[in-house]
A and B are shown apart, each in its own frame.
Chain A
Amino acid sequence: MLVFAISDKGGTGRSVTGSNIVYRRALQGSDVCYLDFDFGSPTAGAIFSVSSAARGTAQGGMHRYLEGRLADPHRIDIWSESDREGLRTKPPGAGQMVLFPGDEGGGEFSTVSEEMLQRCVRLFARLEEEFDLCLVDLSAGRSFAAQMALAATARLPGVPFRWLVFHRWTRQHIIAADGLVRGQQGLLAVGVQHGHDEEALADHIRFVRTAVLEPDAAELEGLRETQKAWLNECDRELRELAGRHRVGRTSMLGKIPLDPVLQWREQLISDEDVLSSQIANAETVAAFDDLAKKIVDDSAWEAL
């Protein structure tokens, strides 16, 4: 299955959440891979703690593959090549976890040519043979990468795909996320141009809220009553806004709580980070785990 991670605005934690979903899925026993399609800023290597690819790979990654200058894009086996010791032993029963980084110095493309699209289709088809889940991290906003993803999936009718639209729990983000999906030249409109059925495509899109601060969270214990009331009011307004913009509860696949580890250092959160060093919150890992399961759980994707 192909999963496309996209957000309208930057700074939603799309990449770090996507990486953690991939990691959780691997721990759950699936063969997974992560494709860095954030062409303008190919830094996925950093999240997986692969320093040799922290700013993209020098050995020929996604850019050179899509340009046709390379037959096989560089693949990095996280279980053996990550700098983090905790990641370097594959737990028994865990699946493959492979990163396909972008090129060092690679930039956003200026157009999607037919040849590029064909290469993309071939890549998706091949990876689908080998991996249970291929997470494709697209850049923020409308991009050629997103257009290519829509066009490629339209040509691969037998390959299941899903879209995750990441947004923060703010007014601006809620409106932007809706616009990215349903607005002018949004995912649905462009998808239809490339041969997708609008309704079917809409059924394959879900939203993920990130950096969510629940009004009843433990962190907010010390607040004054007036502050709490104000926060509750804000949250109610946002929920109403989200409902109006069809970004509400029913179209939401999951939410990731605000976690300092994710804010300050974008990385995979291991169980050890929660249990031994206790730098990350258990709720965060639970949210990733939940999302990783829901992504492949058909009941969470029934038509709205």
Chain B
Amino acid sequence: MTPAYATFGEVAAERRIASAPLSHVSIELGHLYMEDFQAGPERLREQFRQVAPWAETMRRSWQSRVPGGRARVSTCFLIDDYFSRFSTPAELVPMVLEAAAECDLTIDYLARESACAEADGVKLARLVEDRLVTDPPADTNGARPPVTETGWLCNGARSPHGGAVQAMGSARGWEPPAQNAKRRHSIFVDVELWDTDSRGRTWSCPFLAAVWQLLRLGLIRNEGELPVRPRPRGPSFPSDWDELPAIVQLNPAAAPFSAYSTLSVLSSRFLPVELAVRTILSQVFVDAEVLGQVAARSAGEGIPLRDELVDRISYVFLGV
């Protein structure tokens, strides 16, 4: 008798990872804070005027890379409703759309910043925090838990501070902090991820911006599912931010929200924030299967992707 080959599978023992639809590039046209809003619509128009040529350059660059020029490019715009609440979607969104249109820009997707903390019941920021794998200083051999200052993340070893000292033992003098991957000299970065007060935890702006980049790169999953899906706009915009979906699709013909790569066109005042974002992102571990999916898709299109997340992110910093 020939041996019978039996296969046995168990659903609960297998992992299923949803795949995200992907554009070639996601362009962030702007990031609106209360102070920008208070400065009036002219400030917004000025910003869009500066952004437009860069967005166009990126679009053309992808069109030249993709056969037939069929580049999938989506644009997005982020409004802060997390650190301060101002105006209403009903009042603000049409104003933003109008200003963009005046500069021949189409905003495909509009996102709320608080969605990066929690969207549709999924605590995205917490999800990303759990996936931080801290950059180990030299002589980290696994024997001790990773050195962490609660709520902070750095790119090296901090200056030693006065911990417990044994009686009649010797205390240590000041020593400089050091960057782990330094080239002779250090650029040491220490980022505050969150703080707490009586209302609980408040995530920092760089941390939410890191979540924002991961969302745009289509690299976050919650129990294998995509945590946030853009929803089409309704006939009108609500009068309460909480009633606005986390990500609204404004343009029905838009290319997918997430993309192989991202471009953010920002005021140069965001440069330190983005340095912090990159410090965070270079320590986020993305599920290997998700990375594999994205890599397979892009390879199938003949578009090689960089292994490292931070290399998939581009910026334009604008002077005032």
- Asked if A113 is at the interface of the complex by the 8 Å CB criterion, the answer is yes
- Asked if A243 is at the interface of the complex by the 8 Å CB criterion, the answer is no
Q: Is A110 touching B167 in the complex (CB atoms < 8 A)? A: yes
- Asked if B163 is at the interface of the complex by the 8 Å CB criterion, the answer is yes
Q: With a CB–CB cut-off of 8 A, which chain A residues contact B168?
A: 107
Instruction: Tell me which of A63-71, A176-184, A224-232, A278-286 binds B.
Output: A63-71
- Asked if A220 is at the interface of the complex by the 8 Å CB criterion, the answer is no
Q: Is A70 touching B166 in the complex (CB atoms < 8 A)? A: no
Q: With a CB–CB cut-off of 8 A, which chain A residues contact B143?
A: 70-71
Q: With a CB–CB cut-off of 8 A, which chain B residues contact A116?
A: 163-164
In the assembled complex, the CB of B169 is this many whole angstroms from the nearest CB of chain A, namely 6
Alpha-carbon gap, A287 to B124, bound state (A): 61
- Asked if A34 is at the interface of the complex by the 8 Å CB criterion, the answer is no
- Asked if B144 is at the interface of the complex by the 8 Å CB criterion, the answer is yes
Interface set, chain A 104-135, CB cutoff 8 A to B: 106-113, 115-116, 118
Interface set, chain A 164-179, CB cutoff 8 A to B: none
**Residues 224-247 of chain A: 1 if any B CB is under 8 Å from the residue's CB, otherwise 0?**
000000000000000000000000
Alpha-carbon gap, A113 to B147, bound state (A): 14
Which residue of chain B has its CB nearest to the CB of A40?
Answer: B167
Main secondary structure of the interface of B (DSSP, over half): loop
A68-B144, A70-B143, A71-B144 known; A107 vs B164 contact (CB < 8 Å): no
**Residues 52-75 of chain A: 1 if any B CB is under 8 Å from the residue's CB, otherwise 0?**
000000000001001110110000
Q: With a CB–CB cut-off of 8 A, which chain B residues contact A100?
A: none
In the assembled complex, the CB of B147 is this many whole angstroms from the nearest CB of chain A, namely 9
Q: How many residues of A contact B (CB 8 A)?
A: 20
Q: Is B164 touching A109 in the complex (CB atoms < 8 A)? A: yes
In the assembled complex, the CB of B123 is this many whole angstroms from the nearest CB of chain A, namely 25
Q: With a CB–CB cut-off of 8 A, which chain A residues contact B166?
A: 39, 63, 67, 106-110
Q: With a CB–CB cut-off of 8 A, which chain A residues contact B167?
A: 40, 107-110
Q: With a CB–CB cut-off of 8 A, which chain A residues contact B169?
A: 107
Which residue of chain B has its CB nearest to the CB of A39?
Answer: B166
Q: With a CB–CB cut-off of 8 A, which chain A residues contact B320?
A: none
Alpha-carbon gap, A74 to B296, bound state (A): 50
Q: With a CB–CB cut-off of 8 A, which chain A residues contact B165?
A: 109-111
Which residue of chain A has its CB nearest to the CB of B161?
Answer: A113
Q: Is A113 touching B144 in the complex (CB atoms < 8 A)? A: no
Alpha-carbon gap, A71 to B163, bound state (A): 18
In the assembled complex, the CB of B144 is this many whole angstroms from the nearest CB of chain A, namely 5
**Residues 66-87 of chain A: 1 if any B CB is under 8 Å from the residue's CB, otherwise 0?**
1110110000000000000000
Which residue of chain B has its CB nearest to the CB of A118?
Answer: B145
Chain A contact residues, CB within 8 Å of chain B: 39-40, 63, 66-68, 70-71, 106-113, 115-116, 118, 144
Question: Would you list the 5 A-B pairs with minimal beta carbon distance, nearest first?
Answer: A71-B143, A107-B166, A107-B167, A108-B167, A110-B165
